[in-house]
Amino acid sequence: MTIARDAPARLRFLSLEITGRCQLSCPSLCYAASGPTRSHGTMSDDDWFRTIDQAVALGAEEIQLIGGEPTLHPSFVPIARRAVDAGLRVRVYSNLFRVRDQHWRLFKHPGVRLATTYHSSVAAEHDEVTGREGSHKATRANIVEAVRRSIPLNVAVLDGGDHERAERARAELAALGVRDVHVGKVRAVGNAAGTALPSTAELCGRCGDQRATVLPGGDVAVCEIGRFLTAGSVLNVGLASVLSSPRWAEASASIPRRTDPTACHPDCQPSNSDSCDPGKNDPCDPMGYAPAMTGQPAAAVPALL
């Protein structure tokens, strides 16, 4: 099937996966299969700057910096500041394993928001998920520090079937002063999929809808979760050309769309520019998730860092 499009759909939200490198491996969860041995990709600083400028020209309102761990990229701060200076809201999704002084200064900027993932209130359980001893202590300490510095913080707690663990983590975060906590399902993509082939049934049905993701090698995907659906590279043509291409139209059309307006929580509507980012998996379950029919928890959403 070939679908033509005269002009790209309006872009509101763009995720930039600026690196595949991460201090953690999250062997059973990471949607991007990131880790300590992964690279920063082939996009140069100028490539990222140009992509940000092109996103602004297409009407983007917000940029999300993800990875891997975005703060590990040597030019993380300049990339973030380029987006801020362009008038965009910037959302940084970090594992908060290590935060440098220059990062805290950036996170205090009124145009920047911070998000992370917290796997358990029990250190051994959290460390088992991340694949690194001491990750719970480091992340928890930096969550406390963000609250102390009055930095707005969104924390995702992933529920892979152990509802009590997720609830304990949510309760602890509330006690620490975190006001924005989302408990989300684990989707069977990336490491969580094991040997299974990626499926559009794991997507929420909003991918490619005024949003896109640029991966470390320049490929443009419908979203970070749907990274297996790409439609060109910003290293070859501009972002506008990718989003107006037949390949992009076909990739977007392959995603099952929600037709029931009540299928999603109000927080997951197209009017919310970041409604389907990694930190808000709870409002929009995967299209293939039907708990009322199966009585089982959702198939395993990737770990977010």
Asked, for residue 101, whether it belongs to a domain, the answer is yes
How far is Cα 249 from Cα 238, in angstroms, rounded to an integer?
Answer: 16
Q: What phi and psi values does residue 231 have, to the nearest 5 degrees?
A: -145, 45
Asked, for residue 8, whether it belongs to a domain, the answer is no
Determine contact, residues 228/254, Cβ cutoff 8 Å. Answer: no
Can you give the CATH number for the domain in which 171 is found?
A: 3.20.20.70
The DSSP line for 162-219 is -HHHHHHHHHHHHHHT--EEEEEEPPSSGGGGTTSPP-GGGS-S-TTSSEEEE-TTSE
* Short-list 214, 160, 141, 121, CA closest to 30: 160
pLDDT at 267: 32
pTM greater than 0.75: yes
Asked, for residue 252, whether it belongs to a domain, the answer is yes
Asked, for residue 171, whether it belongs to a domain, the answer is yes
161 is in which domain, residue-wise? Answer: 13-263+270-294
Determine contact, residues 154/275, Cβ cutoff 8 Å. Answer: no
Asked, for residue 3, whether it belongs to a domain, the answer is no
Backbone Cα Rg of the chain: 18
Asked, for residue 206, whether it belongs to a domain, the answer is yes
pLDDT in tens, the chain (305 residues): 444 445 556 799 999 999 999 999 988 878 788 899 999 999 999 999 999 999 999 999 999 999 999 999 999 999 999 999 999 999 999 999 999 999 999 999 999 999 999 999 999 999 999 999 999 999 999 999 999 999 999 999 988 778 899 999 999 999 999 999 999 877 766 666 566 666 776 677 778 888 999 999 999 999 888 888 899 999 999 999 999 999 999 988 888 876 554 443 333 333 333 444 444 444 444 444 332 222 222 233 333 33
pLDDT at 11: 92
pLDDT at 89: 97
Helix, strand, or coil (residue 69): coil
Asked, for residue 243, whether it belongs to a domain, the answer is yes
Helix, strand, or coil (residue 241): helix
pLDDT at 188: 65
Asked, for residue 304, whether it belongs to a domain, the answer is no
Q: How many structural domains are present in the chain?
A: 1
